[in-house]
Chains A and B, each alone.
Chain A
């Protein structure tokens, strides 16, 4: 029996995907535990989606722990649970802290450092392990961790459906150098303009961000008493992923990872001197070409053309009929020991808030879009309170901002500016309220905002007196926004599907009739 590699890889990838989905819940759960609100929320939310999910998280986190604290049976063991939650912080695989060890995606670290033109110690600490792993092992991140490696092959199965529907499919191969060009161009933009752009299109970042955004919107709405399912949590990133999937299915299977992914480009560039490589026993190879056809990275293992692009997925080894291929450490197995030793390195703690990694906070690095009513700006703690929590369109609503310096315990009296934007489809924004100063009342900055329509908004606080650039972004949901474009898209999509299916049936019928005539 040949030992296969792919089951192990799938197990690994599934674990990562599960973490992507679960971490935000764990983070939120830890948050409620800190605030001693878990029991209240569970009883308050009942059997709503949010309530069920919170209860599920609670059950998962309490596995193996008795409901008992300080001798009181029936009380949740708060400290133990918080300690547990603290082992799973952040958004895998983009940036996370697992059991106290910080791990940061190299692309995020690079781009963030380029954009801010500084190397923060938290960032460097988080990047050490991934960096060494990549230098030694190559693109293992792509082959074994990135969730796209799991999802895209599944999505590509739709290709069979497209063929079945008699629609044309193509198999275009782009140049593998495209991804380096993309990486270089966006690196330059980040360096010159201070604009990190790649996180918009880097799939693992998109997935973990959407997962956080979903959980945040769901629970924040539940907190303000809205229990419907938050259909509108997704952002433009999901649309981008959908487009990639479409191209993968219809035009160029495998193009993203092999030819365009900027993360892949970075890892490939770093793994020039990797020690983990695919080896071929020339005498056993029968030149059957199967491995070349199956290689998801569009490489040629049959002629040893793998190198830095290989993501060590093991597909070629699994499919080789003569077992001519294997994956081996080339330089010295001792390198493995170095890697293991690194895991024991003293844990560096990156900065995470409600599970979202925060690097170069004060340098205006765009954060993951998160709904949150408390935040920090440098040493200052900011509390934003909106009255009402879910304002009505066209009606005046109040926003109170309280900024306090915990060191001196005195409120921040310098001006606070507020701007408001309506968030449109695909993440476009339209300004609905210009920046203005609030009315200061007992250290409280008061604003009035009128939201014109049922929609998603973003309220932006600027503290010009603090360092001139610091901003905080708070999402605001007015009514139950749903895009009319969604309805149009639903109808249009349904119509196109109908036309395609009817067309396929007609073609198949005509073909069957022609066969019958020949027979």
Chain B
């Protein structure tokens, strides 16, 4: 029972790099905790509760903010008196807004409404964040990139599997199986609720659990657990069980055909296509608010997973086509855990059990060669290599963030494209929840004469291309300036954009996760909206985890951190590509791109956001 400390040679800087992710995590938790007192005054009331309140004419305990429409708990909230009535507010901003035009707001507040708007970053915070980004971009970054200590500190690793109980768990046949049973049951509950439950999104657990808790939580999980989701993924679990009629241990006899995955599709383009398709149905058809459609998407993914499992060898679907796996796979380059082989233990190995499989476990299901694996992208953390390796070479390591992004990898066209698509689609995702979007959509509909779907498709394509074009143009400038191959620049620096995309994604998701997520506790007791109360929590009114002010701080922090990492990776990549004056030539257009994208992120966060729960 010894916990090996990080290797000496990386020194204190290495330890700091290892602990940085946790420090940041603690900081965010601290911000949340510090904020609890104030957060308590803002509560959500679900739609049916609101309707009840509206009919009962004048609620006693809860009140509705007349400005943003959010429900607030009367005690501890900001107050103002107008025309003999007492009004409550979620924040000082809403109170100020109210006091400028009290008559208008007071009139509006008399009519009950089932939606609310979340105020975006206040102007001052937005401007300060922008200033910080500019300072960091052109000042601090040079210092960071030049420091020699950096290189060694990134090599810091903490082998968790040196602790033998953990290794035994990972090598056990029951390990991925038991958590997979739990997720599979949850998955089936979501499908059943979506299909058979109450079709009001406010009273059905399927949309909230899928889109607000799982899909947003997944991105948070990548930071600290890497591809932990793939390990417990119910699609693959159910497909695998059905294909083998076997629940644990090596695959053995299979009912499937074990065809090789088609050569022409051996890239992640299928996954990129699926990701775009999902974004299209999610936003273009509003499936996040339709329980049944949520179930259809879940069943559709399951259908694809099962079909691939029966037709193709190993887990081809996970490697090439699964959009969740590929999106989290790319993000996992950043994550703070990894599964790697120990080179010293592998020398002299002639059996290649980790690739071929043996009586104890399968060969790598996603066609990686664990002994030589350098990047997290395609590792699903299924722990089969822990089971097969006879010499205990595999280890689960903690590592500094972004470790995979600074090592020299072979850039791939499809991965670079997915990185850019992630950047533009997460931003687009945010955009569709702002009032600007409504104006844009209406204008497009009016000028083109198209229906909603047509206009949406046009705008989505435009926003898909917009960041890509900016990036391509700036990459061309930097290639011409520094006389480096354009392809090298365009592909390599796309990876450097990943932290910006990831942390904007987090900032955006934080809003959903922290503000709407707690409602899942209430829905848990009545997942089908049938008036059950299984755990006795069905009547709970859930408060958001943070107040608006607290959320803003967290969001700005995320954007800054993402920007810093992107800059730093840019600097490292530039130095690897070229030397001397051209480093700067490569870097400056890229810096402009990064600042533009981070600015875009902040601008989106500044916009008021129509909350998903407004329909829920």
Contacts and interface: CB of A to CB of B under 8 A. Distances in A.
B255 A484 contact: no
B402 interface: no
B196 interface: yes
A499 B299 CA distance: 17
B311 A454 contact: no
B299 A487 contact: yes
Given A484-B292, A487-B295, A498-B310, A505 B257 contact: yes
A491 B299 contact: yes
Interface string A58-70: 0000000000000
Contacts of A505: 257
A503 B255 contact: yes
B59 to A, nearest CB: 22
A495 interface: yes
B303 A506 contact: no
A225 to B, nearest CB: 17
Contacts of A506: 255, 257
Interface residues of B, number: 17
Contacts of A503: 255
Contacts of B255: 499, 502-503, 506
A502 B195 contact: no
A494 interface: yes
A484 B195 CA distance: 5
B554 interface: no
Contact of B196 (A484, A498, A502): A484
A385 to B, nearest CB: 27
A46 to B, nearest CB: 16
A308 to B, nearest CB: 51
Contact of B307 (A453, A484, A488, A498): A498
Given A484-B196, A494-B303, A495-B306, A502 B295 contact: no
Interface residues of A, number: 14
Most buried by B among A491, A494, A503: A491
A502 B199 contact: no
A498 to B, nearest CB: 6
Contacts of A494: 303
A502 B255 CA distance: 8
B311 A502 contact: yes
A498 B195 CA distance: 23
Given A484-B196, A487-B195, A487-B295, A502 B310 contact: yes
Contacts of B292: 484, 487
Interface string B284-300: 00000000100110010
Contacts of B310: 498-499, 502
B306 A498 contact: yes
Interface string B316-352: 0000000000000000000000000000000000000
Nearest to A484: B195
A424 to B, nearest CB: 12
A454 B306 contact: no
Contacts of B257: 502, 505-506
A43 B359 CA distance: 72
Interface in A477-519: 484, 487-488, 491, 494-495, 498-499, 502-503, 505-506
Interface in A178-201: none
B199 A454 contact: yes
B614 to A, nearest CB: 19
B256 A502 contact: yes
A453 B257 CA distance: 44
Interface string A453-481: 11000000000000000000000000000
A488 B199 contact: no
Interface in A416-471: 453-454
A495 B239 CA distance: 10
Contacts of B311: 502
Contacts of B307: 498
Interface of B: 195-196, 199, 242, 255-257, 292, 295-296, 299, 302-303, 306-307, 310-311
Interface of A: 453-454, 484, 487-488, 491, 494-495, 498-499, 502-503, 505-506
- Counting from the closest, the 5 A-B pairs by CB-CB distance are A484-B195, A502-B310, A484-B196, A491-B299, A502-B257
17 contacts: A454-B199, A484-B292, A487-B295, A488-B195, A491-B299, A491-B302, A495-B242, A495-B303, A495-B306, A499-B310, A502-B255, A502-B257, A502-B310, A502-B311, A505-B257, A506-B255, A506-B257
Given A453-B199, A484-B195, A495-B306, 16 more contacts: A454-B199, A484-B292, A487-B296, A491-B299, A491-B302, A491-B303, A494-B303, A495-B242, A495-B303, A498-B307, A498-B310, A502-B256, A502-B257, A503-B255, A506-B255, A506-B257
